[in-house]
Amino acid sequence: MLATLERDIHEGLAIGRMADGWLHRATRETDAGLMHGRRALMAATARELAETGRQEILDLLELPGFLAVTVRDGRGRSWRRHRWVSIESGRIAREVLVADHHPGAPTAPARWPALGEIESGRGQRPAPDMPPFADPLSPRASAVATLIHRIINARRFDLAAPAFSRDGDWDGPGAAGGDPMTIAPVLVRLIAAAPDLHATLDQVAEGPDAVATVWRVAGTGPHSARFSGFASCLARLDGALIRRLDVVADPEGMLAAAAAPTLAP
């Protein structure tokens, strides 16, 4: 379903297909904010396609409730997006859309208020061993989610490289040649700008040899500006190890939001 809609709308420019695929009360959440209603979603899609033109799909993977796609527009620009959805009556009711920053994409604004991981008068809570999540996870999904949680929230950057197979690599912001050791510098930049940076597990999807997770990332910049955004991770597995990790996020947008002047509550 998701793959067909993606091809029809972004390759075929059939925006009207959104009337078949989304409920009238559907919501879409991105780094830039929350949109309500199918009409607003269709308008946003029309603005995007007016700026990019037809988008050629270069790579696509669908899991239950999750779609990963790489596209290229007529100007030769390429980017990735991960779409997380909740389905009701055969249509999309809720959507979280995470995309690489590309020309024309909005920059994540600073946010207020704090999202709860900092306790008033007590500072930031220590990271637990496992990510809090309402639904039970399979052992494989739990292992992937716990690894990402520990790397980001417990600052255990040393756990990244051993989690990959011998030929394993990753692709995402700052991925220099796919070396897993380059994950740490990206996070260090974010933590330097927002020492309380914290990621909360939002959704999980599984396939035969893949586990996808999406995280809500939040922090406080040097001027006390709160910001939040998403990071979506698709881990393709080789047994218990990661063969390839695709990360879709906009750390530059988060850094810009962290540096923004303080917003009044």
Q: Which two tokens stand for residue 58?
A: 């270069």
Mean pLDDT of the chain: 84
58 — pLDDT class (breaks 50, 70, 90):
very high
Same domain, 129 and 252: yes
Please give the pLDDT value at position 117: 46
**Cα gap 225→262, rounded to integer Å:** 5
Q: Which residue, 110, 107, 113, 106, is CA-closest to 261?
A: 110
Whether residue 55 has pLDDT greater than 50: yes
| pLDDT (tens digit per residue) in 132-147 | 676 788 999 999 999 9
Residue 181 pLDDT > 80: no
Least confident of 16-20, 47-51, 113-117, 233-237: 113-117
Asked if residue 148 and residue 242 are part of one domain, the reply reads yes
Q: Got the DSSP string for 169-212? A: EEESTT-STT-GGGHHHHHHHHHHH-TT-EEEEEEEEEETTEEE
Distance between CA atoms of residues 34 and 96, nearest Å: 9
Assess whether pLDDT exceeds 80 at residue 43: yes
Question: Of the candidates 47, 106, 7, 31, which has an alpha carbon nearest to the alpha carbon of residue 39?
Answer: 47
The verdict on 93 and 173 lying in the same domain is no
Identify the domain boundary among 64, 99, 134.
99
22 shares its domain with 78: yes
Task: Give yes or no: residues 130 and 203 share one domain.
Answer: yes
In this predicted structure, the answer to whether residue 124 has a pLDDT above a threshold of 60 is no
The residue ranking higher by pLDDT, 30 or 131, is 30
Return the CATH number at 91: 3.10.450.50
Angle 180-181-183 from CA coordinates, rounded to 5°: 75
Q: Which of 40, 65, 99 is the last residue of a domain?
A: 99
Question: What pLDDT score was predicted for residue 185?
Answer: 83
Mean pLDDT confidence for 90-99: 94
3-class state of residue 112 by DSSP:
coil
Q: Does the pLDDT of residue 107 top 50, yes or no?
A: no
Nearest alpha carbon to residue 130 among 151, 144, 143, 146: 146
Answer yes or no: is 222 within a domain. Answer: yes
Q: Which domain holds residue 7?
A: 2-99
Examine residue 264 and state whether it is found in any structural domain, yes or no: no
The verdict on residue 72 lying in a domain is yes
**Rounded distance, CA 155 to CA 148, Å?**
10
Half-sphere exposure of 29 (CA within 13 A, CB side): 16
Per-residue pLDDT for 112 more than 50?
no
- Domains contained in the chain, number: 2
pLDDT tens-digit readout, 203-221: 999 998 999 999 999 988 8
